[in-house]
Amino acid sequence: MTRAALLERGGTPLQVIDDLTVAEPHAAKVRLQVAHAGLCHSDLYFIDATPDACPPVVLGHEVGGIIESVGPGVTRLSPGDHVRR
């Protein structure tokens, strides 16, 4: 379980903090404990979008943090590694 800022509807303020369940990573994926996240122009598109555009959505795809778990086939990263994107 993790806490996240959730955009419920386009055209509304980003104010909802909700508990989300994050699944274990699939093949070639990692699960990250996010320490920092940034919003960029593409995130503003969803905030400014019409209410039915695609929410609910968690914004902020530019992140840094610590790997919690790795999926099958991940060999170059391990839990505890610090990463940023």
Domains of the chain with CATH codes: 2-84 (3.90.180.10)
Amino acid letter, residue 48: D
Is residue 74 over pLDDT 90? Answer: yes
CA pair distance 10, 83, nearest whole angstrom: 30
- pLDDT of 36-53, one tens digit each? 988 888 888 878 876 766
Mean pLDDT, all residues of the chain: 86
Residue 29, pLDDT score = 96
Amino acid letter, residue 59: L
